[in-house]
Structure 1
Amino acid sequence: MTLRSDWLPTLAAFESAARHQNFAHAAHELNLTASAVSHHVRKLEARLGIALFHRHARGVLLTPSGLLLADATSSTLADLDDVIGRLRRSPADNELVRIVTLHSWSCGWLLPRLPSFAALHPGIRLSIETGAALSQFEEGGPDLGIRLGGGHWPGLAAHLLMPEHLFPVASPAMVRMCPIESVAAVARMPLIGDAGRQGWHDWFRAAKVRGVTPDERFHFSDSNAALNAAALGLGIALARDRTAEPFIQSGRLVQLPVPVLRGRWSYYIVYPAHRRLRGPAQRFVEWLQGEAARAMP
């Protein structure tokens, strides 16, 4: 049968509701009301003569027929979105990849590796935006993001890139002046904190030290600033392995011989679940995954 144009709004509403498994979340994405999304889905079900969702108090679940239609609809709408995007962009913009990520990860892990990407893909241009990495990926926004978290964000596809580990670091001069080879020795030193969601309290708890009140002399909102402060001899910083790499490799900081804390969160590549990555963005992701695999211990 020929698909009439008046099917498109109902299919778009169904695809979003199927992806989110929730009419309210689909309504927010489509700038509609939840009742409007529900109306579109019921209209589609009436036209097809089948149920597409099982409704329950906490949301909806796809029926087998709904799952079949959701797969086809998602693929078709992604193809349309990709073609329309390419038609609207200039040839130069088609080779531009916009990435939103954390400043500390960008400076500490990504930048030292970018010459490798530039050599492999000289035609691809990158725009790297740093901040809280919480972009909503609106129309015209970034292609993808690198986020630190648990791997579940509504409406986003998330692919594990790398885990995170935390460990104390100090300047070589501080280590020479006062050897720091135990958890107790760390506790006696001035400490440097940052705004990360895991900090000194978590590290001391994991090291099975009770009753310690960390003497956090300096606190920074950015972990790179905390590492720079440690390199200047102001105290011991709790480093994140991915962002501390350049400091340790250059000898500005030394990893102390004390326990390492496995991070509660990991780094993920994220992008809208309903949108396929464009070719240049996909090539950047594949390069990124290869670099992360090579960096694994």
Structure 2
Amino acid sequence: MRRTLPSMNSLVCFEAVYRLGSVTQAAEELNMTQSAVSRRILSMESQLGLPLFRRERKRLFIEPAAERYGQDMSQILSEIEASTSRFITHNQSMGLLTVAVPPTFGSRWLVPKLNGFISTHHGLDLNLVSKIKPFNFDNEDIDIAIHFGMNDWSGAKLDYLMAEHVIPVCAPTLIEDKTPDSIDAILDFPLVHHTTRPKLWNTWSEHFGLAPNRIKSGPRFEHYALVIQAAVNGIGFALIPDFLVRKEILRGDLVVPVGARMKCEEAYYFACPNKLRGDKRVAAFSEWVKRECTKAE
């Protein structure tokens, strides 16, 4: 150590006494005893060969020559503290992770669970964007995606998350005059359709051995959130993934008059472009969402 450079502990004690004007207050701030702080100041004065404070009637007064030294130490220590905080924050931060999700899946299933992830992954900021269909990761400012569809995405690795099961639901008012007593009877009612899955009612009908030509046309909505709301408002029967309408069913806004649950050929997958495989942000989110999906199945 250079002979003219006091120890950091001594400098910290000097700056605190200079700033607060009191050994007692400095000791409280630094969680030290008054005698320990006083010894540090005396040690500095001995090393520097100059007095820092003038002692009069148990009070300390900064020496005129030490006034500038105190100002410099306050600025330097503040800069060191700020720099240290930036270093710690930078190394704790995992950065921003942009995740594309199907709109209703995101709002009704993912977001309500996110606090569990956020509370255990400080420093990782999530940015959720809505996407319905696969896209080119190279052309989008998106890191990863939750994909619903077949196990096929060019330029990305897909990991299975969970299956989807759809059920026919409707508002109680729709069937108050005549409750369907069979799967076949559901097709006598108005049907609500999902724009991006126009053949879902046909697939469901074939699954249960019903004639596809009985499928009625009806209003179409792009997002499941709109399909669900249409069903709640009594517009018609809708085929909805069961995990998306649990609250409506529990509240009685929607009913399932006939058990006709169908497992879809498509499923939910975690999509990651090859360039981000091994990224710590991606790994953290992937592990969490896979655990949550395992619980849901």
Q: Same fold (TM over 0.5)?
A: yes
1:206-225 maps to which residues of 2 (within 5 A)? Answer: 206-210=207-211, 212-225=213-226
Hey, what does 2:119 align to over in structure 1?
119
* CA positional deviation for 1:109: 1.5
Hey, what does 1:279 align to over in structure 2?
280
* CA positional deviation for 1:268: 0.4
Decide which structure has the larger Cα Rg and report it. Answer: 2
Conservation of the 8 A alpha-carbon contact between 2:92 and 2:123: no
Hey, what does 1:188 align to over in structure 2?
188
- Residue type of the alignment partner of 1:217: G
Q: Give me the whole-angstrom Cα distance separating, in 1, the residues matched to 2:128 and 2:272.
A: 15
Residue 193 to residue 275, structure 1, CA distance change in 2 (3 Å)? same
Residue 251 to residue 114, structure 1, CA distance change in 2 (3 Å)? farther
Superposed CA offset, 1:68-117 (max 9, x none) = xxxxxxxxxxxxxxxxxxxxxx8798421110121121122212212222
Further displaced range: 138-147 or 280-289: 138-147
Superposed CA offset, 1:250-274 (max 9, x none) = 4322233232221011110011124
SS in 2 for 1:189: coil
C-alpha RMSD of the superposition: 2.3
* CA positional deviation for 1:277: 4.2
Conservation of the 8 A alpha-carbon contact between 1:133 and 1:146: no
Conservation of the 8 A alpha-carbon contact between 1:187 and 1:212: no
* CA positional deviation for 1:139: 7.4
Number of residue pairs matched by the alignment: 207
1:100-139 maps to which residues of 2 (within 5 A)? Answer: 100-138=100-138
Length-normalised TM-score, structure 1: 0.63
Hey, what does 1:252 align to over in structure 2?
253
Hey, what does 1:238 align to over in structure 2?
239
1:1-297 maps to which residues of 2 (within 5 A)? Answer: 94-138=94-138, 141-197=141-197, 198-210=199-211, 212-296=213-297
Conservation of the 8 A alpha-carbon contact between 2:183 and 2:258: no
Superposed CA offset, 1:134-156 (max 9, x none) = 23222772221011122122221
Q: Give me the whole-angstrom Cα distance separating, in 1, the residues matched to 2:172 and 2:242.
A: 17
Superposed CA offset, 1:3-50 (max 9, x none) = xxxxxxxxxxxxxxxxxxxxxxxxxxxxxxxxxxxxxxxxxxxxxxxx
Conservation of the 8 A alpha-carbon contact between 1:229 and 1:235: yes
Conservation of the 8 A alpha-carbon contact between 1:100 and 1:135: no
Q: Give me the whole-angstrom Cα distance separating, in 2, the residues matched to 1:161 and 1:115.
A: 19
Q: Give me the whole-angstrom Cα distance separating, in 1, the residues matched to 2:242 and 2:164.
A: 6
Further displaced range: 269-278 or 172-181: 172-181
Q: Give me the whole-angstrom Cα distance separating, in 1, the residues matched to 2:186 and 2:126.
A: 41
Q: Give me the whole-angstrom Cα distance separating, in 2, the residues matched to 1:275 and 1:166.
A: 33
Hey, what does 1:44 align to over in structure 2?
none
Q: Give me the whole-angstrom Cα distance separating, in 1, the residues matched to 2:140 and 2:264.
A: 33
Q: Give me the whole-angstrom Cα distance separating, in 2, the residues matched to 1:97 and 1:211.
A: 44
Identical-pair percentage: 24
Conservation of the 8 A alpha-carbon contact between 2:194 and 2:223: yes
Segments of structure 1 that go 5 or more residues without pairing to the other structure are 1-89
- Residue type of the alignment partner of 1:153: W
Conservation of the 8 A alpha-carbon contact between 2:145 and 2:272: yes
- Residue type of the alignment partner of 2:129: E
Conservation of the 8 A alpha-carbon contact between 1:157 and 1:271: yes
- Residue type of the alignment partner of 1:237: A
Length-normalised TM-score, structure 2: 0.63
SS in 1 for 2:289: helix
Segments of structure 2 that go 5 or more residues without pairing to the other structure are 1-89
Conservation of the 8 A alpha-carbon contact between 1:105 and 1:242: no
